[in-house]
Structure 1
Amino acid sequence: MSRPSRVIVVFAVAFAAVLIGPPELGRAQFGPYPDLKWQDVLDIATPVIMLPAYWFLVRQAWSAPDLSWPEHLVFLGLAAIWAEGQGIHLAANSIDNLIHEDLTVPGGHLILFYDEVLGHYLWLVAIVGLAAFAAWRQGRHALAQPLPRLGAEGIAGALYGFAFFDVVVEGGTGAFGIPAAVALVLLPLATSYRRLHARPVASRAGGSTGAVACHSSPRSGCSDGGSSIAHTLRGVGDSPRHESGGDSST
């Protein structure tokens, strides 16, 4: 396996593991501090793992020169948005789980807004922005010798797409996630379809087509044109409890 293939596969595995693993495997209470769940503790490591992984994906030392100062600023800005969104969501989701989404408690609506809207959307903007930035750099600095095949990249793209789909569905962010997924797929195909073997990072972006499937998913909250977000912003009507379209652990 070539070096770019290894970086792409490791990135996709890490992305799926840290975004899907904690909510699915960490639902038990954290023994030393029972107000927390294991998913909250595990999620602390998410930016520590993923931001360096994004750096390797964006840097592309196998074919691209070092980032320019403007490119450094773009990466740092997107990384800051990622960390901010993930941190907001982690804290608000921990409190939301503790109060069981009871909107009658002081600050209940604000906690829900931070958890289900602001945190999710900041996070998704950074995910999409970093993926687009990596694909853009690959488009500017193609491999000198194209890869003979894209088997590993295809598998990595499918895994990344599944994880992206899960993030969009469980976060109820289809209003932005679906158009972004379509753009991440169509732009590389439109600009360099015949040269994808020399642009494996761009080809990996094709895996995000999995997110488009949430349009037909009855549990996604994506096909309502963002009405679930408006529902949250309106204070969830007159109900003292909010029934979220997605798992609050996301």
Structure 2
Amino acid sequence: MTTPPAAPAEPHTHPTAEHDARPLRWLTACALLYGLTHHIGFGLAGLGTIGHTRWADWADILTPYAVLLTAAAALHTARADRTAWILYLTGAITYVEGHGIHLAANSVGNDTPGLPVVHLWDEVAGHYIWYAGTALVAAALTRGLAHRTRLDLTT
């Protein structure tokens, strides 16, 4: 008489409390870094210039990295679905393009103030594109974390 093979072990279906908290921690970091980096120019304005550029503009280069990498970490740890990742990718590309336009126009405006085209590319086109990307990334985060219950978010 032979012993039947052992049934495969059930996969671990309930992550630990530590694992459950990771998406919320990344989401919190994303929100804090968004608030900080989107206003960093105001805080660093007093540092002055580096040649024809401003310190605040150089620091502002970090904005997309800080916001988008923490958003991606929140989606990854929440095991977001394909749709959330497609929303995220579309939003991230749009966010980076808008931020780049904004940053370039700011630099031109700092060097040559008063050009109407600077206002168009910075305050109008750049910001609209940038914030459209922000909305798409927020939609991706909402979708990616929506499956979590209220109990999941408090652990």
Q: What is the count of residue pairs matched by the alignment?
A: 136
Counterparts of 1:52-67 in structure 2, within 5 Å, are 52-59=69-76, 61-62=77-78, 64=79, 66-67=80-81
Deviation (angstroms), 1:51: 1.3
Where does structure 1 differ by over 6 angstroms across 4 or more consecutive aligned residues? none
The TM-score with structure 2 as length reference comes to 0.75
Query: Does 1:11 find its partner at 2:18?
Result: no
Larger radius of gyration: 2
Structure-2 change in CA distance of 1:133 and 1:147 (3 Å): closer
Native 8 Å contact 2:30 2:71 kept in 1: yes
Structure-2 change in CA distance of 1:148 and 1:88 (3 Å): closer
Native 8 Å contact 1:29 1:35 kept in 2: no
Deviations 1:15-66 (A, max 9, x none): 12211123322343333xx21011111011111222111212333x24x3x5
User: For the residues of structure 1 that align with 2:88 and 2:136, how far apart are their CA atoms?
Assistant: 9
Deviation (angstroms), 1:147: 4.0
User: For the residues of structure 1 that align with 2:113 and 2:58, how far apart are their CA atoms?
Assistant: 19
SS of match in other structure, 1:26: helix
Structure-2 change in CA distance of 1:132 and 1:72 (3 Å): closer
Counterparts of 1:216-235 in structure 2, within 5 Å, are none
Deviation (angstroms), 1:4: 3.3
Counterparts of 1:89-108 in structure 2, within 5 Å, are 89-101=102-114, 108=115
For 2:119, the aligned partner's letter is L
Name the structure 1 match of 2:13.
none
The TM-score with structure 1 as length reference comes to 0.49
In percent, how many aligned pairs have the same letter? 26
User: For the residues of structure 2 that align with 1:53 and 1:146, how far apart are their CA atoms?
Assistant: 19
Name the structure 1 match of 2:137.
130
Query: Does 1:40 find its partner at 2:57?
Result: yes
Q: Aligned-pair RMSD on alpha carbons? A: 2.3
Which of 92, 109, 133 in structure 2 is aligned with 1:79? 92
User: For the residues of structure 2 that align with 1:148 and 1:11, how far apart are their CA atoms?
Assistant: 18
Consecutive unaligned residues of structure 2, counting only runs of 5 or more, are: 1-17
